[in-house]
Amino acid sequence: MASYKIALLDGDGIGPEIMREAIKILELIATRNDIEFELDHGAFGANAYFEHGHPFPDATKQLCDEADAILKGPIGLSHEESKKIPVDMQPERGALLPLRARYNTFANFRPVFLPKGLAHFSPLKPEIIGDGIDFIIIRELVGGLYFGKKETGINEHGKRYVSESLEYDEDQIARIAKVAFDTAQKRKRVLHNIHKSNVLKSSVLWNEVIGEVSQDYPEVEVKHILVDAAATYLCLNPGQFDVMVMENMFGDILSDQAGGILGSLGLMPSACVGPDKAYYEPAHGSAPDIAGQNIANPYAMIGSVAMMLEMSFNLEAEAKNVWHAMQSVFTQGYSTPDLSSPGVAVNMISTDSFGDLVAAELAKL
Ligand code: IPM
Ligand code: MG
């Protein structure tokens, strides 16, 4: 029997609630595929800081080192609570970026998917949504401004100043470009390259390398779009996109905008893949305002499980089944209060009931 270790990092806020639903799905998949998933929880995030003195404790690092894959919940506390944590120990800087750096998870996949039946979640008009939204953002995740040199101090005029640098070398660009071209090759063979080469030198090099890598993918058409224009097109005509590739900060911002056109970041799972290890996480935050109320939708968390099944364990058919199960719970008219939009008639259920229904649908497939 195949046996895999999965490190579960519940995180903060709604993290533990949605993790419970993800576990239901993993357990069902394990039983019916004769697989063993060894599931171990590790402390990670703001709560880990308060309980263990560090947001990414050594014990969690070891757990992750030994795991075949990592499933991570959202992290972070309210603005007020965060202030109780020293800046470098806050979970984004103290845990999440170090997790990405530790496993060099340079390739971030963020599918932006809303089938026609779920179009009512989107704030866009039906005529713009057409047959639904279906594209994927591929974001470089371990370079650029978020990982560049940082300096703060007092300048020669006695003024406080800050400097942060955006650095990429050609290898870092080429490896994410290959991931993007490979993905485009498997889909519609159109790749949108997002850049800002009219201003940033980093984008000039980025585009050069994209051009070089494209030589190996003659069947993929590359379309270049400035990042600011891409933000507009995402609202006006998201249907034109299939695969989009971009550097770290552009991807951070545009993927949140993409969550907006779906209607919620709660509908966006993600995969963060490195050379030897991958971790999976919902792209949304920890929603401290609704934590503990059993109303958060576990879709992005369970979707992250689906991505793990496909990308880490080669269980492609089961990954599809998980997606189908979730869609059918939605199309039967169920939703959770956090996702509901005013005026839409839905049968409002709790986080755990939603997870139960997904598991029941999955059991039928
Ligand atoms: C994301 C998040 C993170 C990022 C934060 C929490 C550091 O916004 O995964 O998009 O900026 O990458
Ligand atoms: Mg973000």
CATH of residue 337's domain is: 3.40.718.10
pTM of the model: 0.96
Residue 118 three-state SS: helix
Residue 212 three-state SS: helix
The verdict on 1 and 84 lying in the same domain is yes
- For the stretch 294-343, pLDDT in tens is 999 999 999 999 999 999 999 999 999 999 999 999 999 999 988 876 56
User: Residue 1 has what pLDDT?
Assistant: 87
Catalytic residue among 68, 182, 252, 338: 252
Active site residue 58: no
Residue 17 has pLDDT above 80, yes or no: yes
How much distance in Å is there from the Cα of 285 to the middle of ligand 2? Answer: 8
Q: Give start and end residues of each alpha helix (H) in the chain.
A: 15-33, 46-52, 58-66, 79-82, 91, 97-102, 126-129, 170-186, 201-214, 227-236, 248-262, 299-311, 316-331, 351-364
Last residue of a domain, one of 246, 264, 282: 264
Q: Which of 34, 46, 37, 53 is nearest to 9 (CA)?
A: 46
DSSP assignment of 120-157 equals GGSSS-HHHHTTEEEEEEEEE-SSGGGTS-EEEEE-TT
Give domain status of residue 124, yes or no. Answer: yes
- For the stretch 106-165, pLDDT in tens is 999 999 999 888 888 899 999 999 999 999 999 999 999 999 999 999 999 999 999 999
The verdict on 217 and 313 lying in the same domain is no
Q: Which atom of ligand 1 is nearest to the CA of 76?
A: 6
The verdict on 13 and 41 lying in the same domain is yes
The verdict on 285 and 304 lying in the same domain is yes
Pocket residues: Cβ below 6 A from ligand 1: 92, 96, 252, 283
The verdict on 97 and 125 lying in the same domain is no
Q: Which atom of ligand 1 is nearest to the CA of 75?
A: 6
User: Residue 342 has what pLDDT?
Assistant: 58
Give domain status of residue 269, yes or no. Answer: no
User: Residue 304 has what pLDDT?
Assistant: 98
Q: How does residue 4 score in pLDDT terms, banded at 50, 70 and 90?
A: very high
Active site residue 196: yes
The verdict on 257 and 302 lying in the same domain is no
- For the stretch 229-280, pLDDT in tens is 999 999 999 999 999 999 999 999 999 999 999 999 999 999 999 999 999 9
The verdict on 173 and 210 lying in the same domain is yes
The verdict on 197 and 327 lying in the same domain is no
| Strand arrangement of the beta sheet that strand 221-226 belongs to | 35-41, 2-9, 69-72, 278-282, 269-273, 107-115, 132-140, 243-246, 190-195, 221-226
Residue type present at position 312:
S
- Residues around ligand 2, an ion, CB closer than 5 A: 252
Q: What is the mean pLDDT of the chain?
A: 96
Give domain status of residue 185, yes or no. Answer: yes
Residue type present at position 140:
E
Torsion sign over Cα 125, 127, 131, 134: negative
User: Residue 344 has what pLDDT?
Assistant: 65
Mean pLDDT of 191-203: 98
- For the stretch 55-89, pLDDT in tens is 999 999 999 999 999 999 999 999 899 899 999 99
| Contact assessment for residue 18 and residue 351, using Cβ atoms and an 8 Å cutoff | yes
Pocket test for ligand 1, best of 97, 109, 164, 252 (most atoms within 8 A of CB): 252
Q: CB-hemisphere CA count at 13 Å for 148?
A: 15
User: Residue 189 has what pLDDT?
Assistant: 98
| Contact assessment for residue 311 and residue 278, using Cβ atoms and an 8 Å cutoff | yes
279: left (phi over 0), alpha (psi -120 to 50) or beta: beta
Give domain status of residue 110, yes or no. Answer: no
The verdict on 122 and 225 lying in the same domain is yes
How much distance in Å is there from the Cα of 76 to the middle of ligand 2? Answer: 12
Residue 354 has pLDDT above 80, yes or no: yes
Residues forming beta bridges with residue 36, ordered by sequence position: 3
Pairing of strands 278-282, 69-72: parallel
The verdict on 136 and 254 lying in the same domain is yes
Give domain status of residue 323, yes or no. Answer: yes
Ligand minimally distant from the alpha carbon of residue 105 = 1
Give domain status of residue 64, yes or no. Answer: yes
The verdict on 301 and 319 lying in the same domain is yes
The whole domain housing 213 covers 116-264
Q: Which atom of ligand 1 is nearest to the CA of 256?
A: 10
The verdict on 247 and 127 lying in the same domain is yes
Give domain status of residue 89, yes or no. Answer: yes
In angstroms, the Cα distances linking 133 to 17, 239, 322 are 28, 6, 19
Last residue of a domain, one of 240, 264, 288: 264
How much distance in Å is there from the Cα of 147 to the middle of ligand 1? Answer: 12
Active site residue 103: no
Catalytic residue among 68, 256, 352, 356: 256
Give domain status of residue 14, yes or no. Answer: yes
Structure tokens belonging to residue 303: 């979707």
Cα separation, 265 vs 123, in Å, equals 13
Number of domains in the chain: 2
Last residue of a domain, one of 264, 297, 314: 264
Cα separation, 200 vs 203, in Å, equals 5
Active site residue 242: no
| Contact assessment for residue 196 and residue 203, using Cβ atoms and an 8 Å cutoff | yes
- For the stretch 30-62, pLDDT in tens is 999 999 999 999 999 999 999 999 999 999 999
